[in-house]
Structure 1
Amino acid sequence: MTCSEQTSSVAVDTADHKQPPATGGRAVVIALVLATGTAVLVGAEFVPAGVLPLLAGDLHVTEGRAGLAVAATALAGAITAPTISSVLPRADRRRVLLGLLALAFVSNVLVALAPTLPLLLAGRVLLGVAIAGYWSFTFGVGVAITGRPALISTAMSLGTSVATIVGVPLASVLGDSIGWRGVFVILIAATAASWLAVARLLPPVPAHPGAGSVMMRQALGNRRLMAGVAMIALAAFGNFAAYPYIRVALQAVTPSLVTVLLVAWGIGGLAGNLAGGWLSSRLRLGVALAPAILLVGLALMALHPSTVVVALAVVAWGTGFNMVPVTTQLWVSRVEPKRVESAVSLQVTAFQAAITLGAVVGGLVVDHRDVWTAMAVGAVATALAAVGFAVIRLVPRAD
């Protein structure tokens, strides 16, 4: 089966029970609407990395403990992703997406008002549920409406890239002027705008006829898929053992260029997003290359011999990591073309579980050693992911 045939099989399997696919400009609009939701949710997930010193100081906790604001979100996501389709097997997917965006709105309100770390973490748990559900359903929703998996995967990763280009550096700048709580107020408004866009522009999308626990059990029986999910978890762990502490690292090397280098990370992310889409016809190469580039960035950060090297490391880091979601999402959908919703849910689970573990391990390393050791830990994990993906064959499941 060729790559184009694999892509077609995914589209047909996801959309054959719905209305004819949207075409042309309407397909692009749908993709952009879904990408906007992704950008808002991912921005909310990782904004703490841009305001970590401020958040830690205001709540009177260490920066390692403040990093749990990322871990709590990811833990909730790891639990939610593999179960939400079973809880909502027949719910209209447009309504589900609207409910998840509403949950993110409530989360941001709670975080903006939280007087203590435990209350803040409670709000972040709600965000984890929203993110995991949105990521699990959006790919299938987008393909059902447009019939174009590569467009939807690229759009979702583009939303992630925009969130990192704009969200983290902008949060860093705004946090210094209006406070970290003010940043979350802005996120509240952005989440409301995304909800309105989805409500206005997306048509109803019925659930896949086979969605639910049976589909998930069948996907779990695909050993090649599960091996890939393990590699996804390694790549994500490697990134998130270090990413919540990126601002701490940059301030230690070059305090005056922190915002510039955060933007450089995001620009690298945009390049990685585009590269991941370009490699959609060579996915075995793409899924191995992404963690390999991430490895280079983290290894150079761990060494940090000069500002120039750190700048190059940041760009490589952003490029490699942002290739991972788009290439792996397409990879799992091609390995398991008849159970795409469950396959993507497992990808999301791997990401969120790895974010949780990565943030916790990274926080412990930062508190007990230093931020550079956290970068080295991440580099080792991404090296294993690159090697693993290089040896796993990309063969779609036939049954």
Structure 2
Amino acid sequence: MPLPLYLLALAVFAMGTSEFMLAGLLPDIASDLDVAVGTAGTLTSAFAIGMVVGAPGVAVLARDWPRRSSLLAFVVTFAAAHAVGALTTSFPVLFATRVVAALANAGFLAVALTAAAALVPSDAKGRALAVLLAGTTVATVAGVPGGSVLGTVFGWRATFWAVAALCLPAALGILKGVPAGRARDEASGGPTLRAEIAQLTRPPLILVLLVCALVNAATFGSFTFLAPVVTGTAGLGEWWVSVVLVLFGAGSFAGVTVAGRLSDRRPGLVVTVGGPLLLVGWPALAVLAAEPAALLALVFVQGALSFALGGTLITRVVYAAAGAPTLAGSYATAALNVGAAAGPVIAASTLGTGAGRLGPLWASGLLVAAALLVALPLRAVITADRSTELLR
């Protein structure tokens, strides 16, 4: 894999750390800025909404920009938003910086997904996207726990400064390593904006995006509410929450890595094996959550299966949206974040039911079941071994 790809992954790591780090910082932010913890929690919603809205919108604006310039602009804007957030004493200003950071993140990821696919041969897109997405999974393993520790020792502002600093080597790498050409110039036939947007009327692409959103909703629905399962149902101490989150992140890294080697030539294997296993895994975790050993093992497995399947589906989106070469990444980004925003809401609605704190795990199982049902008529699209076969 080319070096620029790893530099893009470094930026994705910084952005992934930022997206997830607030879970451990909200009490300190609320206390420092004199707002309720629930109010501080809206910072997470602001980021998710910014990602959903920003992915297609910013990608359209950047469509005629050189890739290098657009990626660099997004990284610098993201870093600047965190610098302002670290300095402000106003909650509304901090809220605004989260929206700006999310828009920059969405734009970067949308362009980076298509840029990564263009940096490698057509039959290696899955591996390239796996390297890029590894930045997010490493963020859950190392970035988020590291940010939590940094925030505990030096305060939440230090974590914001650290994220901004991580963007600097990524920006330098983009400046030196990413080709300056425009994505539209590199696209075969140079489709118009209207033609690219028209791809969203194709049922195969719509359904692949829906499957992608449902799987990610299941992932984030349970991930968001793992802490009460660990401390309540399993009866473990609070420090075990970090251990469980790291295990989930380690599993997700393993899943993305393995799937990256299969998603181009053997996507059917990932979907037909990983999908049913993921479906069974969430209810199994709910049933066995009171057993610490089973909980720890299943969290790792579910992280691996969730990201293996999710990573493969992202590759399928890029292939299915081949007629939208500059916007395909934004479609995948929007679908992922629709799932990331909807999953926790759906999971939260189950907490007041008889299932209690285990409700999110059962809800994730239902979401995966829905994803597999939607995927049934898409077998030829999702399991196609080569993009050329997919597009015929």
TM-score bucket (shorter structure):
0.7 to 0.9
Cross-structure match for 1:242: 222
Gaps of 5+ in 2: 382-388
Change (3 A) 1:165 1:79: same
Deviations 1:31-84 (A, max 9, x none): 211111111111111112344454455556666654433322121111122233
Task: Give 3-state SS (helix, strand or coil) of 2:180's partner.
Answer: coil
Deviations 1:324-372 (A, max 9, x none): 4421121122323333433332111111122222344445666999543
**After the TM superposition, which residues 23-34 of structure 1 pair with which residues of structure 2 at under 5 Å, given as runs?**
27-34=1-8
Q: Contact 2:216–2:336 (CA<8 Å) still a contact in 1?
A: yes
Distance 2:285 2:84 in 1: 34
Do residues 174 (structure 1) and 150 (structure 2) align? yes
Give the TM-score normalised by the residue count of structure 2.
0.84
Residue identity matched to 2:308: M
Cross-structure match for 2:101: 127
Do residues 314 (structure 1) and 290 (structure 2) align? no
Residue from 208, 214, 217 that aligns with 2:184: 208
Alpha-carbon deviation of 1:285? 3.5
Distance 1:127 1:288 in 2: 37
Alpha-carbon deviation of 1:390? 4.3
Give the TM-score normalised by the residue count of structure 1.
0.83
Q: Contact 2:82–2:160 (CA<8 Å) still a contact in 1?
A: yes
Distance 1:394 1:108 in 2: 43
Residue identity matched to 1:279: L
Residue identity matched to 2:248: W
Distance 1:46 1:367 in 2: 25
Deviations 1:165-217 (A, max 9, x none): 11122223333322332222211111222212211222212122435532332
Residue from 304, 310, 320 that aligns with 1:335: 320
Q: Contact 2:196–2:325 (CA<8 Å) still a contact in 1?
A: no
Distance 1:216 1:120 in 2: 35
Q: Contact 2:67–2:178 (CA<8 Å) still a contact in 1?
A: no
Q: Contact 1:34–1:156 (CA<8 Å) still a contact in 2?
A: yes
Distance 2:202 2:139 in 1: 33
Alpha-carbon deviation of 1:260? 2.2
Distance 1:66 1:367 in 2: 23
Percent identity, please. 25
Do residues 186 (structure 1) and 162 (structure 2) align? yes
Cross-structure match for 1:379: 365
Q: Contact 2:221–2:347 (CA<8 Å) still a contact in 1?
A: yes
Cross-structure match for 1:162: 138
Distance 1:162 1:277 in 2: 15
Cross-structure match for 2:78: 104
Residue from 238, 241, 259 that aligns with 2:242: 259
**After the TM superposition, which residues 1-399 of structure 1 pair with which residues of structure 2 at under 5 Å, given as runs?**
27-55=1-29, 58=32, 66-115=40-89, 117-147=91-121, 148-209=124-185, 210=190, 213-252=193-232, 253-254=235-236, 255-280=238-263, 281-287=265-271, 289-290=273-274, 292-303=276-287, 304-362=289-347, 371-395=357-381, 398=391
Distance 1:74 1:211 in 2: 30
* Aligned-residue RMSD, C-alpha: 2.8
Number of aligned residue pairs: give it.
Answer: 373
Change (3 A) 1:376 1:97: same
Alpha-carbon deviation of 1:235? 1.1
Cross-structure match for 1:20: none
Task: Give 3-state SS (helix, strand or coil) of 1:393's partner.
Answer: helix
Residue identity matched to 2:53: I
Q: Contact 1:39–1:163 (CA<8 Å) still a contact in 2?
A: yes
Distance 2:192 2:102 in 1: 20
Q: Contact 1:288–1:390 (CA<8 Å) still a contact in 2?
A: no
Q: Contact 1:37–1:191 (CA<8 Å) still a contact in 2?
A: yes
Q: Contact 1:269–1:322 (CA<8 Å) still a contact in 2?
A: yes
- More deviation, 379-388/295-304: 295-304
Gaps of 5+ in 1: 1-26
Distance 1:121 1:367 in 2: 29
Change (3 A) 1:368 1:121: farther
Change (3 A) 1:306 1:177: farther
Distance 1:321 1:165 in 2: 15
Q: Contact 1:49–1:243 (CA<8 Å) still a contact in 2?
A: no
Residue identity matched to 1:386: L
Alpha-carbon deviation of 1:313? 2.7
Task: Give 3-state SS (helix, strand or coil) of 2:182's partner.
Answer: coil
Distance 1:242 1:212 in 2: 40
Distance 1:371 1:43 in 2: 26
Deviations 1:93-125 (A, max 9, x none): 111001111121122223334545543332221
Distance 2:333 2:128 in 1: 15
